[in-house]
């Protein structure tokens, strides 16, 4: 039988031995972690888009991702996972390892979702860390040519006269296309009916076919259709006229002073991703959007590139959450389960 003093000494030695073993294990692991970070990336990187292909988030992911892949030496593969206004993609990425091999493509809809959806499980700042803000674009109000409105004044008059026939397409509940129109209805005193799709691509397809007549679309996907006369553009949503449509007045200029919205796209990773990897991704993103070929291509598609740090993007994202929370509250958009 050990005495009390002998027992205490034995326990102390055991604790010391355990601490030494733990320290050795941690020290041994450090070179492996460092090597993994130094060798990053050594396999393809996935870009998860929470909306269908053909929309602005998908377009930006593909254009910027291709150049980033060349810079990083590994392909960046777009993985579209539409549904629940982007929340399906959030849930998918939120369950994955924080190793930098899966990026979530963020857009305006992610910021509005934090207010609009009651049970949003994964949020930027808690479960996702901002990497880089990439590009932004104004929306443009486009209508099917069968709708008898040649300008904004005629459009508002027609909407007030025949609200039962005014159906507008959105890229999903809480998307920029949805909230921009909700804000327009509130300020203009109109009441049009939303038809929600699983992304800008499907919404645009029905707009072109005349199934729906109206959409506050992002500029990139509709430039060609407007130039070909398949859609009629009435106004843009920025603070000043857009270079892609210099002859179009802004909504604020034409009918609603103070009206302004934009759509933006950026990248995020799972929180816990090693900072050296985050920095490497951010640097590659900045280098990609500063490439003349990428910049010119995005400008032709109606996007302006935006350089940022992870910290600046996170601050911007939080400001967007606050902005759209106010719009959702004022316009009375029902919260989603």
CATH number at residue 117: 3.40.190.150
Query: HSE of 176 in the Cβ direction (CA atoms, 13 Å)?
Result: 27
**10: in domain:** no
Helix 108-116 vs helix 87-94: crossing angle, to nearest 10:
90
Distance separating alpha carbons of residues 250 and 237, to the nearest angstrom: 6
pLDDT tens digits, 30-55: 454 454 567 899 999 999 999 888 88
pLDDT higher than 60, residue 256: yes
Q: Is the pLDDT of residue 284 over 70?
A: yes
Q: Give yes or no for residue 272 having a pLDDT over 50.
A: yes
| Predicted local distance difference test score (pLDDT) of residue 124 | 87
Q: Is the model more confident about 44 or about 12?
A: 44
Per-residue model confidence (pLDDT) at position 32: 45
SS3 216: strand
Using pLDDT thresholds of 50, 70 and 90, give the confidence band for residue 192. very high
Choosing from 254, 270, 294, the residue where a domain stops is 254
Indicate whether 83 and 167 sit together in one domain. no
Indicate the Cα dihedral angle 25, 30, 31, 34, nearest 10°. 160
Choose between 285 and 52: higher pLDDT.
285
Mean pLDDT of 159-173: 93
User: Strand, helix or coil at 146?
Assistant: coil
Residue 35: per-residue pLDDT: 44
Looking at the 3D structure of the chain, how many domains does it have?
Answer: 2
Asked if residue 9 belongs to a domain, the reply is no
Q: Is 134 exposed, middle or buried (0-12, 13-18, 19+ CB in 10 A)?
A: buried
Compute the distance between CA of residue 138 and CA of residue 249 in angstroms, rounded to an integer. 12
Range of the domain at 249: 138-254
Report yes or no on 12 lying in a domain: no
Report the predicted TM-score, pTM, of the whole model to 2 decimal places. Answer: 0.77
Say what the pLDDT of residue 5 is: 47
Q: Is the pLDDT reported for residue 7 higher than 60?
A: no
Nearest partner of 278 among 96, 73, 130, judged by Cα: 130
Where are the alpha helices (H) located in the chain, listed in sequence order?
A: 4-38, 56-72, 87-94, 108-116, 152-161, 176-188, 200-209, 219-227, 251-254, 275-289, 292-300, 310-331
Within this chain, do residues 159 and 106 fall inside the same structural domain, yes or no?
no
- For residues 191 and 51, membership in a common domain is answered with no
Q: Are residues 208 and 246 in the same domain?
A: yes
């Amino acid at each position: 039988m050990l005495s009390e003093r002998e027992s205490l000494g034995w326990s102390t030695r055991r604790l010391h031995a355990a601490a030494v073993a733990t320290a050795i294990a941690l020290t041994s692991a450090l070179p492996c972690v460092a090597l993994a970070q130094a060798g990053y990336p050594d396999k393809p990187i996935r870009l998860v888009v929470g909306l269908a292909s053909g929309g602005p988030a998908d377009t930006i992911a593909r254009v910027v991702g291709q150049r980033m892949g060349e810079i990083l030496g590994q392909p960046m593969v777009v993985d579209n996972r539409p549904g629940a206004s982007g929340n399906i993609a959030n849930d998918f990425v939120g369950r994955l390892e924080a190793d930098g091999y899966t990026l979530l493509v963020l857009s305006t809809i992610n910021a509005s979702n934090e207010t609009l959806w009651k049970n949003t499980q994964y949020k930027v700042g808690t479960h996702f860390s901002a990497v880089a803000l990439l590009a932004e674009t104004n929306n443009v109000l486009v209508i099917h040519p069968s709708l008898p409105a040649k300008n904004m004044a005629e459009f508002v008059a027609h909407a007030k006269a025949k609200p039962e026939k005014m159906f507008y397409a959105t890229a999903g509940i809480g998307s920029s296309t949805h909230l921009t129109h909700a804000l327009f209805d509130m300020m203009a005193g109109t009441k049009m009916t939303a038809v929600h799709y699983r992304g800008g691509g499907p919404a645009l397809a029905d707009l072109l076919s005349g199934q729906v007549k109206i959409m506050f679309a992002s500029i990139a996907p509709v430039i060609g259709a407007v130039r070909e006369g398949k859609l009629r553009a009435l106004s843009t949503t920025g603070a000043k006229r857009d270079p892609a449509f210099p002859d179009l007045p802004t909504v604020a200029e034409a009918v609603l002073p103070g009206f302004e919205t934009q759509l933006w796209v950026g990248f995020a990773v799972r929180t816990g991703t090693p900072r050296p990897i985050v920095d490497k991704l951010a640097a590659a993103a900045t280098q990609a959007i500063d490439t003349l070929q990428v910049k010119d291509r995005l400008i032709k598609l109606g996007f302006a590139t935006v350089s940022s740090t992870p910290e600046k993007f996170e601050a911007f994202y939080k400001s967007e959450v606050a902005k759209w929370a106010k719009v959702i509250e004022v316009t009375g958009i029902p919260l989603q389960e």
